[in-house]
Amino acid sequence: MSTRKVVLAYSGGLDTSVAIPWLRERGYEVIALTIHVGQPVDLQAVRKKALASGAKRAYVVDARDEYAREYLRPALQANLLYEGQYPLSTALARPLIGQHLVAVARKEGAGAIAHGCTGKGNDQVRFDVCTTSLAPELEVIAPAREWGMTRDEEIAYAEAHHVPVAARRASPYSTDENLWGRSVECGILEDPAVEPPEEVYGWTTSPERAPDKPEYVRIAFEGGAPVALDGERMSLRPLIERLNRTAGAHGVGRIDHLESRLVGIKSREVYECPAATVLLAAHQGLEAMTLPRDLLAAKRGIERQYAQAVYDGLWFTPLRTAFDAFVGATQERVEGEVAMKLYKGQARVSGRRSPFALYRQSLATYSDGDEFRAESARGFIYVWGLPSRTWAAVGEKRAPGARVTARTTRRSR
């Protein structure tokens, strides 16, 4: 293992492009690694750019299907939403990238991995903890956390080192994209009193300009995972990609989130998650039909903890493994089809059916054919209310204003 060889998570953007010569100046041999998780990227073009920036070697991996299968599928089954709003699109991609970084580092005999995260963000924690969990012997280097350069200084540094960077000084936003969503921050978004301008959105139509006619989509689930869209069976990745386009055209999936970052600051983030918004609503709608009340309540508590763990970078931990075991045990009967209505920024369940439905019309109806035994309700209510009734009866025995005191006795020796 070489302590002067480092594998860099390379996106092709400004920070990671500048990181290559910065690391080389400090004596490192840089191996670039680019992971395709659904962002708009030409893998071969990015590979050439990494080599032109000074990388010794450059790996590119199309991991979209792996991302959908190994990360988005369990996230959907667990209805993961951080703070009840954010589908964790960026957070879910980081452990996948980290896993590949460690694999390449071991293949290359590298002693370190590097990433382009700053000291204010959550991703630095995710990459660092991921590496520690999978390969504690590896060092983690975060150039952007150390160099202290502004964006303009980075551009000047890139130009001085002949790094081909297309960054524009006038661009105020920082964006990140993958299959599960698009995130935007910086610029005017740093003022939470200002409505996000239309220019920050790239995946979704403004709800005001969305079609005046609603569109319906039908999603089939097996084992709590989507397997078909509008009657056509397909794997999860193309299903997500199609839903992103369809729901995005109706303005579905815009999220304006004042977020509690792990590092202790509040941050204003704008997300576009069309497919995630539709699929999560559909999955929850199907669970409401197929899971009993006590299990639903227990699962909602686990979901909150699971989402927190993913956000906090704890994917490769026994905690997440235990969460998966619990969630997996709940999904066997989450099977059926859900119809979703897409209209002016909203995605709502319009119908659902399942062979494992706990809903029975013969029990719920107030019309002919009612099989519910109403005469049993009185006895049920008596037993159900017995603790409350007993509590109230004991309280009535006390005189108004009386105080209950405990008597103590002392035994002499």
d(CA 320, CA 312): 11
Marked catalytic residue, from 47, 64, 94, 182: 94
d(CA 21, CA 219): 48
d(CA 318, CA 304): 17
Question: What's the pLDDT at 374?
Answer: 81
Spatial contact of 252 and 187, defined as CB atoms under 8 Å apart = no
Is 11 catalytic? The answer is no
Could you say which of 328, 345, 361 is where a domain stops?
Answer: 361
Both 187 and 313 in one domain: the answer is yes
Marked catalytic residue, from 47, 89, 123, 267: 123
Which helix (H) or strand (E) segment holds residue 2: the answer is: strand 2-9
pTM of the model: 0.91
Both 150 and 183 in one domain: the answer is no
Marked catalytic residue, from 57, 106, 145, 174: 174
pLDDT in tens, 165-196: 765 555 678 889 999 999 999 899 999 999 99
d(CA 99, CA 316): 9
Q: Is residue 107 part of a domain?
A: yes
Is 17 catalytic? The answer is no
Model confidence at 52: pLDDT above 70: yes
Model confidence at 412: pLDDT above 50: no
**102-111, 165-174, 309-318: least confidently modelled range:** 165-174
- DSSP labels for 88-143? -HHHHHHHHHHHHHHHHHHHHTEEEEE----SSSSHHHHHHHHHHHH-TTSEEE-H
Is 123 catalytic? The answer is yes
pLDDT in tens, 367-395: 887 888 888 888 999 999 999 999 998 98
Give the pLDDT band of residue 152 (cuts 50, 70, 90).
confident
d(CA 175, CA 192): 18
Give the pLDDT band of residue 21 (cuts 50, 70, 90).
very high
Question: What's the pLDDT at 367?
Answer: 83
Both 155 and 228 in one domain: the answer is no
Both 53 and 70 in one domain: the answer is yes
| CATH number for the domain that contains residue 45 | 3.40.50.620
Could you say which of 118, 144, 171 is where a domain stops?
Answer: 171
Both 165 and 291 in one domain: the answer is no
Both 347 and 230 in one domain: the answer is yes
Both 52 and 182 in one domain: the answer is no
Question: What's the pLDDT at 411?
Answer: 52
Both 186 and 119 in one domain: the answer is no
Q: Is residue 369 part of a domain?
A: no
Q: Structural domain of residue 32, as residue ranges?
A: 2-171
Both 196 and 53 in one domain: the answer is no
Both 117 and 252 in one domain: the answer is no
Question: What's the pLDDT at 206?
Answer: 97
Q: Is residue 256 part of a domain?
A: yes
Could you say which of 149, 171, 193 is where a domain stops?
Answer: 171
Look at the chain and report how many structural domains it folds into.
2
Is 2 catalytic? The answer is no
Spatial contact of 104 and 33, defined as CB atoms under 8 Å apart = yes
